[in-house]
Amino acid sequence: MSKPILMPQVGQDLTEGKLIEWRVKVGDKVAKGDIVAVVESEKASFDVEAFEAGTVLNLLYDEGATTKVLAPLLFVGDPTEDAATPHSIEQAKAASEDGAVIAPIGVGMSERAADAQLGRKANGAPRSSPFARRLAKSNGIEIAAIVGTGPHGAVVARDVKSVIQAADPAPSPAGAGRPHADSGPPGTALRSLESASAPPQSPAMRAHSEAAHRAWLRKGEGPPLVMIHGFGADLNGWRVLVAAAALRRPVLAVDLPGHGRSAGLERVSLQAMADAVAAVLADEGVTSADLIGHSLGAAIAVAMAQAARFTVRSLFLIAPAGLGPDINSAFLAGFARARSEESLAPWMRLLVADESAIGPALIGVTAQTRSEPGVPEAQDRVARSLFPDGTQAFSIRLALAATPCPVRVVFGADDRIIPARHAAGLPGTVAVHIFPGVGHMPHLEARETVARLLSEHLRTVS
């Protein structure tokens, strides 16, 4: 039986999205977690992951089409099925305001859509990741000459690195880290950027970098804004705030170890989590950034500022952990045990004051993520290591007091996970904002106000 892959709902108030690019074609086999499309909603673009495995049976929309959230974008299943049945097409039409549907390849399809289905861009170049393109360009390598090993033959970073290493098989010890965007002949970036423009990476940091998934949520000019999510979440949770803030700066978001698409850590500590994020920044060539963190991610941001491996321009901390000893132990234990949507829902709704802010789509996506092998176990290790017996086993107070950069702290007065009273007694140099009627997710529940605060904060450090 064919199964649909839907236009995701990133925020409760977002009702539609625009299909920017297909990453698959009819006949491709996809696994859970493969990126099948890039879509855009309210000026924020994001990847669409396959939550079903199978063969791509059809693509229902042309690139550039707009459709409602949770509408089918494509169907996957057994290749012997006929996915272009009236039922499939009508289902897509019913969910779309304009009913814009394309037939299977070769039936009245635009040239642009045909190119997408055939797995090539309009200029004939192979598909490739943004990081792979930057890496190839910085090393003077033609991306079209590289054989891709990524999903559906896409050129990914490891393919470019293989070419670089083949041209320069014996890099100096200083170049033992991962390659970055830099200028010079092939092999230069592999050797020089760690010593020239990014902090050195220890072997442990390089291992973290290999494991940590990241995404540039927005391109732009100026120092990047680095976003670090909280326990149990992933980088996609920031997309609503990015859209609401209408940021002009580049925005990099990271999946913490054991979250999203990042591998877990065997030995968990706050510093190890901070090292994992710092390694990503070094990997991306980021030497100066503003950090925004939520809950556990906020504590990690402070730890990164204390380590001083790169320049932290400012900290914007939402419901930060590490300011007091108590935390909702029932939430941690219940979330760690939960696997299904039904068991996750009551615990996730503790995250907000208005429980309607946590919709079924968000619960469903979280359940899908937690169904992946190893994810619940990795997050359980994080909870047991950092919050043993319902206690926050670390403190960021002294580090925060010693941080010279501008700091803002945002809490919801009705936070049921970490009490807002933990913000009491912070140094007078720290700006504190507490919102009544808001829970542990101010960037979701009061996103327009938090977005204005964030924009104002970033202007003060520009």
CATH at 302: 3.40.50.1820
Is residue 375 domain-resident? no
304 and 389 in a single domain? The answer is yes
pLDDT of 405 reads 94
pLDDT of 424 reads 95
Structural domain count, the chain: 3
269 and 287 in a single domain? The answer is yes
Q: How far is CA 100 from the centre of its chain?
A: 29
- Nearest of 39, 36, 38, 43 to residue 4 by alpha carbon: 36
Separation between Cα atoms, residue 53 and residue 29, nearest integer Å: 8
Is residue 123 domain-resident? no
Ramachandran region, residue 399 (left: φ > 0; alpha: ψ -120 to 50; beta: rest): alpha
Report the SS3 class of residue 273: helix
16 and 84 in a single domain? The answer is yes
Is residue 359 domain-resident? no
Is residue 259 domain-resident? yes
187 and 304 in a single domain? The answer is no
Is residue 360 domain-resident? no
pLDDT of 364 reads 81
Last residue of one domain, picked from the residues 157, 173, 196:
196
102 and 134 in a single domain? The answer is no
64 and 83 in a single domain? The answer is yes
Is residue 122 domain-resident? no
Query: Which residues, 6 or more positions from 194, have their beta carbon under 8 angstroms from its beta carbon?
Result: 174, 175, 177, 180, 200, 201, 282
48 and 186 in a single domain? The answer is no
Last residue of one domain, picked from the residues 90, 117, 144:
117
Report the SS3 class of residue 58: strand
Task: Tell me which residues of the chain have a pLDDT lower than 50.
Answer: 12, 82-124, 151-152, 168-209
- Nearest of 125, 181, 184, 190 to residue 163 by alpha carbon: 190
pLDDT of 139 reads 72
Is residue 429 domain-resident? yes
75 and 175 in a single domain? The answer is no
Q: How far is CA 81 from the centre of its chain?
A: 34
Residues spanned by the domain of 449: 203-329+380-460
Is residue 435 domain-resident? yes
CATH number of the domain where residue 49 is located:
2.40.50.100
280 and 162 in a single domain? The answer is no
pLDDT tens for each residue of 152-195: 466 766 677 767 766 544 333 322 233 333 222 222 222 222 22
Last residue of one domain, picked from the residues 196, 228, 252:
196
pLDDT tens for each residue of 344-373: 999 999 999 998 888 887 888 788 778 778
Helix (H) or strand (E) holding 112: helix 111-117
Helix (H) or strand (E) holding 365: helix 360-370
pLDDT of 229 reads 97
Q: Give how far Cα 416 sits from Cα of 259, 323, 383, 419, 437, Å.
A: 22, 15, 17, 7, 11
291 and 315 in a single domain? The answer is yes
78 and 178 in a single domain? The answer is no
**Which residues sit opposite 35 in a β-bridge?**
49
189 and 208 in a single domain? The answer is no
pLDDT of 270 reads 95
Tokens of 304: 């990164």
- Nearest of 317, 352, 349 to residue 445 by alpha carbon: 352
Altogether, the residues listed in the chain come to a count of 462
